[in-house]
Amino acid sequence: MKFSEIQSLSAIAELLECDYVGPPDFPVAGFNEIHVVTPGDIVFVDHPKYYDKALTSAATIVMINKKVDCPDGKALIISDDPFRDFNKLKERFRPFEPAEVLSAPSAHIGAGTIVQPGAFIGNQVTIGKNCVIHPNVVIYDHCVIGDRVTIHSGTVIGADAFYYKNRPQGYDQLKSSGRVVIENDVDLGALCTIDRGVSGDTIIGNGSKIDNQVHVGHDTVIGAKCLIAAQTGIAGCVVIEDQVTIWGQAGITSAITIGKGAVIYAQSGISKSLEGGKTYYGTPAEEFRKKYREMAAIRQIPELIEELKKNK
């Protein structure tokens, strides 16, 4: 997430009540998770396993829970709890705004767009031209909808990311400040849930079509002209490249990539990245010819056991 105006390192450190390393006027443009950081961003890290990754990332300000050498050209914020302080930034720069009406005055709705009765349009939402938003659709704050998009009843766009830290007193949520961006000519079926990015964007690309009851997790990027059938579940931070077809009830784990033109058969479980241009089936999913051979071999096991018994 980018700030509306550049902040100074000293001002951010004062807000968080933290020490810092670097010039007081070091520029801070925003805060983001490590997979979407750019120069000027704050990234947080609270585990030694990820110190090097954070310190060498594109982020130029690292919020860290240990005093370390500051890399050249960067700044540090020393926090005893970076997870907590990341949430403080969210609450300061993108606080929750209660709704007072079904369609917020700050929302921008393009010409020719139809919003059916009962739909909720949140603060700072942008909807393009010639869209149809059906009854009981919910579009949370700051989401962006392109032109000629159809969203069917009961779909929720922009709910919080499913992202928690396990603390002794219970689970602590990492607050979401990102957006959902739906590009042009997308159709979303009924009862879909598209979660916002933690600090970046969840994106559905041009011309993609999503069936009923599909879940898309935070920060996932779906490319152009994809087809995703009913009851598919996609975890956070997945990259689905262009022209991928996913049939019903498939489940996809987080932080993997599905290559362009891949086809995933129904009820498959995807636990690793898949090459494009191939067809996959099963749990864990494999190239479908290989999987079918395995299944055929398994069906022969009882017969083979009986044959072995006869030959004893």
Tell me which DSSP letter residue 103 carries: B
Q: Per the structure, how many domains does the chain have?
A: 2
Q: Are residues 200 and 240 in the same domain?
A: yes
Q: Are residues 160 and 253 in the same domain?
A: yes
Which one from 134, 142, 215, 218 is the annotated catalytic residue?
Answer: 218
Determine the pLDDT at residue 302.
83
Determine the pLDDT at residue 305.
79
218 is catalytic: yes
Q: Are residues 132 and 276 in the same domain?
A: yes
Q: Are residues 270 and 125 in the same domain?
A: yes
Residue by residue, pLDDT tens for the chain (312 residues) are 999 999 999 999 999 999 999 999 999 999 999 989 999 999 999 999 999 999 999 999 999 999 999 999 999 999 999 999 999 999 999 999 999 999 999 999 999 999 999 999 999 999 999 999 999 999 999 999 999 999 999 999 999 999 999 999 999 999 999 999 999 999 999 999 999 999 999 999 999 999 999 999 999 999 999 999 999 999 999 999 999 999 999 999 999 999 999 999 999 999 999 999 999 999 999 998 888 788 888 888 888 777 787 877
Q: Which helix (H) or strand (E) holds 28?
A: strand 27-31
Q: Are residues 241 and 130 in the same domain?
A: yes
Per the domain annotation, does 225 fall within a domain?
Answer: yes
Domain that holds residue 40: 2-93
Determine the pLDDT at residue 295.
80
Determine the pLDDT at residue 297.
82
Per the domain annotation, does 303 fall within a domain?
Answer: no
Per the domain annotation, does 312 fall within a domain?
Answer: no
What spatial distance separates the first Cα and last Cα of the chain, rounded to whole Å?
Answer: 70
Determine the pLDDT at residue 306.
79
Per the domain annotation, does 33 fall within a domain?
Answer: yes
Q: Are residues 134 and 85 in the same domain?
A: no
Q: Are residues 39 and 130 in the same domain?
A: no
Q: Please name which of 187, 79, 90, 185 lies closest in space to residue 142, comparing C-alpha atoms.
A: 90
* Ranges of H-type helices in the chain: 9-16, 51-55, 82-93, 288-299, 301-310
Task: Say how far apart CA 36 and CA 31 lie, in whole Å.
Answer: 10
Determine the pLDDT at residue 293.
84
Which residues sit opposite 182 in a β-bridge? 145, 204
Q: Are residues 72 and 142 in the same domain?
A: no
Which one of 64, 93, 122 terminates a domain? 93
- The CATH code of the domain that includes 28 is 3.40.1390.10
Both structure tokens of 3: 């700030």
Per the domain annotation, does 38 fall within a domain?
Answer: yes
